Amino acid sequence: ADMRFGIDLTIFGEYGDPALLVDLALEAEAAGWDGFFLWDHLTTTHEREVTDPWVVLSAVASRTEHLRLGPMVTPLARRRMPKLARETVALDHLSGGRLILGVGLGEHDEEEFSAFGDEADRPTRARILDESLALLEQLWSGEPVSFHGAHLQAESRPCLPTPIQRPRIPLWVAALWPFKRPLRRAAAWDGAFPISADGGFEYQMTPDELAQVIAFVAAERHAEGPYDIVHAGLLSGDAEADRQLVAAYAQVGVTWWLEHIYPGRMAATETRKLIRLGPPRSS
């Protein structure tokens, strides 16, 4: 399978403008990118603008035809699963089955969790994340819902309609490398989005590190069917160098390259130029 290419955008500061983000998504579709993903945060550690990715993704879904789209990632411990199930199914239908749901533990424990009365303790949040995924799968199933976890409870008639995508909306799970538990969680679903625990935003995981991730996931994985390994990548803008760089990741088994536009990396005018260049496909 050929590698697919997406844009993974911060929603802070200059990028806290919903109209700008929709515009960049339209540019990405026109330039031949395969996906458009947005961070999901309530606040930042600084005082600056933040927008809501879900509202923006709705606009993107209704104005594009081919782009895969989704949050990268939404922290399930501060979300309510019945509401998230409705949002995701609505987006799946609105987009004609193009949603990919990125999920994770979340960060900024003080600013995004305890500040609003949500659970800040990470091990507890990890357990809530696992229960949330199990409940979400039930909510998407079209069957009556009965869930009794340590943290989440649900008894409900079926949630209809079901997603267009079968067997479910794809779930990509963020995992801090080299920790094993988050990767074990990711192996149970549809994709892993590994990020280095040691490097900052500007650190790009190496093909060797991703080969280790892939080997670990393969050993843990019991399900059949396609599985995505998603890389937060950093292109240079030099077409030939970028093609060689991407080829090294494709060779170890990375299936998605998400160009990582993190806070402070580049202004929107530069991001627009990078998007317009299109992805560095080998052919």
Write out pLDDT tens, residues 204-224: 999 999 999 999 999 999 888
Q: What is the pLDDT of residue 247?
A: 96
- Strand 74-75: give its sheet, edge to edge: 68-71, 35-38, 4-9, 256-261, 228-233, 191-196, 171-177, 101-104, 74-75
Q: With CA atoms as reference, report the closest residue to 6 among 65, 68, 57, 61.
A: 68
Q: What is the pLDDT of residue 89?
A: 98
Q: What percent of the chain has pLDDT over 70?
A: 99
Tally Cβ neighbours within 10 Å of residue 199. Answer: 12
Give every CB contact of residue 235 below 8 A, 6+ residues apart in sequence: 242, 245, 246, 259, 274, 280
* pTM check: above 0.85: yes
Tokens of 162: 């079901």
pLDDT at 45 over 80: no
pLDDT at 96 over 80: yes
Rounded to an integer, the average pLDDT of 236-246 is 94
Q: Which residue has the tokens 């309609």?
A: 161
d(CA 114, CA 148): 25
Q: Phi and psi of 68, rounded to 5°?
A: -75, 150
Q: What is the pLDDT of residue 107?
A: 87
In contact, 249 and 282? CB cutoff 8 Å? no
Q: What is the pLDDT of residue 283?
A: 62
Beta bridge partners, 195, equal: 176
Rounded to an integer, the average pLDDT of 79-107 is 97
pLDDT at 14 over 90: yes
pLDDT at 280 over 70: yes
Q: What is the pLDDT of residue 253?
A: 97
pLDDT at 53 over 90: yes
Give every CB contact of residue 224 below 8 A, 6+ residues apart in sequence: none
In this prediction, residue 1 has a pLDDT band, given cuts at 50, 70 and 90, of low
In this prediction, residue 47 has a pLDDT band, given cuts at 50, 70 and 90, of confident
Q: For the chain, what's the residue count?
A: 283
Q: What is the pLDDT of residue 204?
A: 95
